[in-house]
Amino acid sequence: MSCFELLTTDPHCAARRGVLTTAHGRVQTPAFMPVGTAGAVKGILPEQIEATGAQIILGNTYHLLLRPGVDVVEKLGGLHGLTGWNHPILTDSGGYQVFSLSSLTKIDDDGVEFASHLDGARIPLNAEIATEIQVRLGSDIIMCFDECTPYPVEEEKLRRAVARTIEWAKRCKAAHNTLVKGGANPTPIDPMGPISPTGRTASLLFGIVQGGVDPELRRQCAERIVEIGFDGYAIGGLSVGEGHEAMAQTVRCTVPHLPSEAPHYLMGVGMPIDILAAVMAGVDMFDCVLPTRNGRNAFAFTRSGSLRLRNSVHVESCEPLEPGCDCVCCRRFTRGAIRHFFNCGEMLGPILLSIHNLRFYQRLMADIREHIERGDFASWATGEMARYAGIEREP
């Protein structure tokens, strides 16, 4: 039975309204996932995350492997026990770190060897190891190990990354089948130990499509990943410097090659205008560090544009961050108070702005779902995108 139920589509674009079912609950889509890289959404309690409207969060395999380690996470009750979050969790495979930590990485067709950014220790990671780690973490949605390339990138490197991504996806699926479904002929994994059937909660496995901004490579990769067969399909390798238009065009040319009965996930893309364009193209899931990272740096998202709360214009401001927002930050604190918290190093400032930004994103996703249900998403989103573009052009 499919993990994804398609409820309705917009009559004028590819936007979809659906429900994704996981071992820890259902996710109404389109959905945005806050990022908890090391097992926590920085500075935010699980109850506060839930209050923003978030239904699912994301963890990072590479960082959790380094600290506190898979054995420790298992002993603490898995990732759900570590985080205190009893709702769905998606983990990335560590493939993005192939790109982001490239200066510390050696890569070949078998996998990757990282030099730990903490102490320089050599850390091997490949399709089998990444899959086993995520299963042991207790993730609801596991991502295949892939190779993410920078932008721009030489054509030969891009083609090689696509080929590796496809081969690693095959190996991830074989490892996942053995681990979760108890397949025969377990394959030894070094250094994690042998794969063996487990009694852990069943997880979903998503394949990832790479190919840079090359539409033909994206098509080829998508078709091969779909042939292998996964519970869901992700578009990776974007938001690495290609810009909004190239990102949107790449998504538009990739989604038609993905099964309509499966969820579509755009990895790491998170500006509101990017999310709107991707939903129009048929994407169901998103994640990004922007709401919390920017919040920790005194940057607030609002429908009227961004606010930088360290600016002196806010010194005596009694306004809320965003009139009409129902988050605790906007209901109980002024811009002047928040500026003060940042300028004196009070941790409440980053916490409040992170909460507001997370709520801003969840309100955006709720609006998106509502307009898809109404059947007027295409016209509404076109207007919103034009409005955001106009705000960005303002001096």
| Distance of alpha carbon 37 from alpha carbon 287, whole angstroms | 11
Would the pTM count as exceeding 0.85? yes
Give residue for tokens 């108890």. 182
Catalytic residue flag (residue 92)? yes
Segment (H or E) for 385:
helix 377-393
DSSP 229: -
Residue type, 304: S
Helices (H), the chain: 46-51, 61-66, 70-75, 78-83, 95-100, 127-137, 155-181, 215-228, 244-254, 272-281, 290-296, 328-332, 335-343, 348-374, 377-393
The model's pLDDT over 1-13, given as tens digits with 9 standing for 90+, comes to 789 999 999 999 9
Average confidence (pLDDT) over 308-330: 98
Average of per-residue pLDDT across 216-241: 98
In the block, tokens 């493939």 appear at 95
Q: Most distant CA pair in the chain: distance in Å?
A: 69
Q: Is 359 helix (H, G, I), strand (E, B) or coil?
A: helix
How far apart are alpha carbons 95 and 149 in whole angstroms?
A: 10
Q: At residue 269, what are phi and psi to the nearest 5 degrees?
A: -105, 125
| The predicted structure's pLDDT at residue 181 | 74
One-letter amino acid for residue 138 of the chain:
G
Decide if pLDDT at 193 tops 80.
no
Alpha-carbon separation of residue 296 from 109, 200, 334, 346 (angstroms): 38, 36, 17, 11
pLDDT tens profile 345-386: 999 999 999 999 999 999 999 999 999 999 999 999 999 999
pLDDT of residue 201: 61
Q: Domains (ranges, CATH) in the chain? A: 4-288 (3.20.20.105), 295-388 (no CATH)
| Cα separations in angstroms, 211 against 43, 70, 109, 218, 368 | 35, 31, 17, 5, 28
Dihedral sign for Cα 262, 179, 90, 211, please: negative
3-state secondary structure of 333: coil
Active-site hit among 214, 231, 274, 287: 287
Report DSSP state, residue 35: B
Question: What are 174-188's pLDDT values in tens digits?
Answer: 999 999 877 544 443
Q: Would you state the pLDDT for residue 101?
A: 76
- Name residue, tokens 């993410």: 148
Sign of CA dihedral 82, 84, 87, 89: negative
> Which residue in 10, 92, 140, 146 is the catalytic one?
92
Mean pLDDT within 96-113: 84
Distance of CA 293 to the CA centre of its chain: 14
Taking residue 392's Cβ as centre, other Cβ atoms within 10 Å add up to 12
Does residue 195 carry a pLDDT above 50?
no
Q: What stretches of 52-143 show up as alpha helix (H) in DSSP?
A: 61-66, 70-75, 78-83, 95-100, 127-137
194 pLDDT tier (thresholds 50, 70, 90): very low
Q: For the segment 48-104, what is each residue's pLDDT rounded down to a tens digit? A: 999 999 999 999 999 999 999 999 999 999 999 999 999 999 999 988 876 787 777
Which pLDDT score is estimated for 202?
86
| pLDDT of res. 188 | 39
* pLDDT value for 199: 45
Within 151-243, residue ranges assigned H as helices are: 155-181, 215-228
What's the pLDDT score for residue 94?
A: 87
pLDDT value at position 394?
65
Q: How far is Cα 71 from Cα 78, in angstroms, rounded to an integer?
A: 9
The rounded percent of the chain whose pLDDT value lies above 70 is 94
Q: What pLDDT is recorded for position 115? A: 83
Between vectors from CA 299 to CA 296 and to CA 301, what angle results, nearest 5°? 120
Mean pLDDT across the chain, nearest whole number? 93
Q: Is 123 helix (H, G, I), strand (E, B) or coil?
A: strand
User: pLDDT category, 125, cuts 50, 70, 90?
Assistant: very high
CB atoms within 10 A of CB 43: 17
Which 3 state secondary structure label does DSSP give 10? coil
Q: Assess whether 287 carries a catalytic annotation.
A: yes
Q: What is the pLDDT of residue 34?
A: 98
What is the Cα–Cα distance from 292 to 352, expressed in whole angstroms? 10
Q: Where does the pLDDT of residue 117 fall: very low under 50, low under 70, confident under 90, or very high at 90 and above?
A: confident
Angle between helix axes 215-228 and 155-181 (nearest 10 degrees) is 20
∠ CA 38-164-230 to the nearest 5 degrees? 70
How do residues 236-284 score in pLDDT, each as one tens digit? 999 999 999 999 999 999 999 999 999 999 999 999 999 999 999 999 9
C-alpha Rg value of the chain to the nearest Å: 21
Backbone angles phi, psi at 88, to 5 degrees: -60, 145
Say if residue 126's pLDDT is above 90: yes
298 phi, psi to nearest 5 deg? 65, 30
